[in-house]
Structure 1
């Protein structure tokens, strides 16, 4: 179709296939997985929909131009000759993000600076005035990606990273990224068809993301703005139709989602964030030490959490992760427990055999998303009953 164009959704390491499935379920075409990104085809309405509804995307980019540049002058010249006045007024504002993987261009901030110089010089020569730089709320956010000597220029339709959902006004000392939380939930197979527990919930991100998945609530419904709202082709009526259509697909939830934390300050923050997300009817947060807890209901329990890993919170790793293993084994039969660990010595201290280990990154730290299956009674008996 003539109104379709190719887009790129950026994501975290290991989430490419999950993001591709999200795009397929939303109705994207020509989906291709890459490294920390998935490309796809859709129209303007689908670009709005992708920003609103994708749980594992960090950015949605609209590619504009590609060229080869063997030095900074070629980069400058190629950027300068593009008709930026089609997209930006001379008294408007811009911001430039850049990423470089190149022996020629080794400094991303310098590439961003040269790009800015080329654009403002074009405006100055053409109109005698130039756009300003506004890093927070620009009229146009431009993304430059250089691989060796190949430069891709894109428009950033998202603005702030899509992990900034808009519900988190309060955080604890080591909050988990919302996209990472949603990706782990989807990777764990969470679909809202049973009870859920995050026994170390901090500021409540994982239970909130779990509730939004269970109820099929668009993850970025609470965001204040997207970058595309300042574009010249912004169609507010179309966006409202997209949002209305997405909200019609929200479903009810008949199980319990709970979050525990032993710190009163974390519990207070988590409750505030749950309220901000309008999920108080679905998520219960309470002050409780996981190590002094036990499974509350019969039936299958889905557990996912992000325990402290000694980087920013001082703990005795060996003792702490040993207690995690003991508590799961003794107090949580009939549970599939998932958690992310970035300390590989800590994993050994759990004392249970993980049935799955998936490589992920929590920020810059390499980690593993681990799955532990806790059976009701003996493992042999459970298998016989399941069969």
Structure 2
């Protein structure tokens, strides 16, 4: 236990409970849910596993220092006192991400510059030279968070956001964020125990994330790099051991995952991304108009999709959403259908009563994740049997 330390997993609004559950299932200790974040404790190997396997985390931060400040000089002095040479070589590179919610300061870019000055001045005073700033691929990415007069200094172990899974090279006009897609699937209760369909698949993200959940494939298995791989204490042998352990927990999937879209360009992109994710054996992608489709077979179907919201595509959005409801009612019995939309007016045109509504954000768009239960026959008949 002595090697455990506190970490912070950042996430999206509405994903906190799912992330908390993921961390507990992975074996994290002292797990505490926050606002768009979950704190937890674990050792170095667990930090590697969290980055590799968590589906609903955006970043994994390792807190280093926390202190109170009353002025920008306070900030400079406290940052300058940190023994940065333990974590960063004089000829290394670093980057700073700053978030500010304080009456003392009102500009995150200024805080990042002040922090940079304090770090480089320490190196220059000790060694006569300084590390360089590299915003894209630094050896050390530093996170500064100021709330009120409290400053938290953390190291970003992930690097680029963990929604950059590594499999998506081709995207459509409005691709859904991979972390959001995974979170939606987990919120919908998807567990890989029946057939799955995304009838408006775009670049294939929802189907790919569904297959990875069904097969228990680590979320970030296709990423090229994590920030911790450049840390001075990086243990490559340990990371490979964690990697192998995670891969041994993958499982076979014995149902079908279907993705289709009426746009040929979307189908081509989805096929490319499915191939990149090494999931061609599990996912079929076809060109098909959902509104002209019907369900295959009588077994239960789990459907999750991200329809147009009417912001980028010029369509009759109310009629479009009415067609969604009609198609579900007429062609998809014994189906649990979920979709997310930010068009709260158009949702009313579906003509079906959702059994659940979950408040989420798709980027900055205030959205709802809706669940519709389509029974075989009428709902009344279901309860009379």
Using structure 2 for the length normalisation, give the TM-score.
0.99
Deviation at 1:313, TM superposition (A): 2.2
Change (3 A) 1:330 1:68: same
How far apart in 1 are the matches of 2:384 and 2:239? 52
CA deviation vs aligned residue, 1:231-270 (integer Å, no higher than 9, x gap): 1110111011101011111000000001110110110000
RMSD: 0.8
Q: What residue number does 1:44 align with?
A: 44
The equivalent residue for 2:184 is 184
Provide the rounded CA distance (Å) in 1 between the counterparts of 2:315 and 2:65. 50
Give yes or no for the alignment of 1:375 onto 2:371.
Answer: no
Residue-by-residue CA offset, 1:118-157 (whole Å, 9 max, x unaligned): 1111111111111111111100000111111111100000
Q: Deviations over 1:32-54 (max 9, x none)?
A: 00000000010000000000000
- What corresponds to 1:81 in structure 2? 81
Question: Which residue pairs with 1:314 in the alignment?
Answer: 314
Question: Could you tell which deviates more after superposition, 245-254 or 109-118?
Answer: 109-118
**Following the alignment from structure 1 to structure 2, what is the Cα–Cα distance between the partners of residues 312 and 155?**
37
User: Is 1:227–2:219 an aligned residue pair?
Assistant: no
CA shift for structure 1 position 111: 1.2
Q: 2:18 aligns to what SS in structure 1?
A: helix
Q: Work out the CA distance in 2 between the residues paired with 1:315 and 1:118.
A: 54
Distance 2:384 2:87 in 1: 64
Q: CA deviation at 1:71?
A: 2.1
CA distance in 1: counterparts of 2:159 and 2:298, whole angstroms: 45
Query: 1:365 maps to what in 2?
Result: 365
Q: Which residue of 2 aligns with 1:114?
A: 114
Give the secondary structure class of the aligned counterpart of 1:99.
strand
CA positional deviation for 1:384: 4.4
Q: Alignment partner of 2:8: what SS?
A: strand
* Aligned equivalent of 1:288: 288
How many residues are matched? Answer: 385
SS at match of 1:347: helix
Q: Secondary structure at the match of 1:98?
A: strand
Query: C-alpha displacement at 1:383, in angstroms?
Result: 3.2
- Write the deviation string for residues 207-231 of structure 1: whole angstroms up to 9, x where unpaired: 0000000000001000000000001
Q: Deviations over 1:162-182 (max 9, x none)?
A: 000000010000000000000
**TM-score normalized with structure 1 length:** 0.98
CA distance in 1 between partners of 2:293 and 2:99 (Å): 46
Q: Does 1:18 align with 2:18?
A: yes
Per the alignment, residue 249 of structure 1 pairs with 249
State how far apart, in whole Å, the 1-side matches of 2:72 and 2:279 are. 50
Q: How many angstroms apart in 1 are the aligned matches of 2:101 and 2:383?
A: 50
Structure 2 SS opposite 1:224: coil
Secondary structure at 1:242 match in 2: helix
Whole-angstrom CA distance in 1 between matches of 2:114 and 2:311 = 37
Distance 1:384 1:304 in 2: 29
Structure 1 CA distance, aligned partners of 2:102 and 2:289? 49
Pairing 1:279–2:279 present? yes
Give the 3-state SS of the residue equivalent to 2:366 in structure 1. strand
- Looking at structure 2, the residues matched to 136 and 238 of structure 1 have their Cα atoms a distance apart, in angstroms, of 26
The residue that corresponds to 1:199 in the other structure is 199
Secondary structure, in 3 states, of the residue corresponding to 2:336? strand
Q: How far does residue 314 in structure 1 lie from its aligned partner after superposition?
A: 2.2
Counterpart in the other structure of 1:328: 328
1:55-95 Cα shifts (integer Å, max 9, x gaps): 00000000000011122221111111111111001110001
Which moves more between the two structures, 268-277 or 92-101? 92-101
Tell me the distance in 2 between the aligned counterparts of 1:153 and 1:213. Answer: 33
Q: Which stretch shifts more, 308-317 or 276-285?
A: 308-317
In the alignment, the residues of structure 2 paired with residue 13 and residue 383 of structure 1 have an alpha-carbon distance, to the nearest angstrom, of 36
Helix, strand or coil: the match of 1:21? helix
Cα distance in 2, alignment partners of residues 173 and 29 from structure 1:
41
Give the Cα–Cα distance (whole angstroms) in 1 for the partners of residues 202 and 95 of structure 2: 33
Q: Map of 1:146-165 to 2, 5 A cutoff?
A: 146-165=146-165
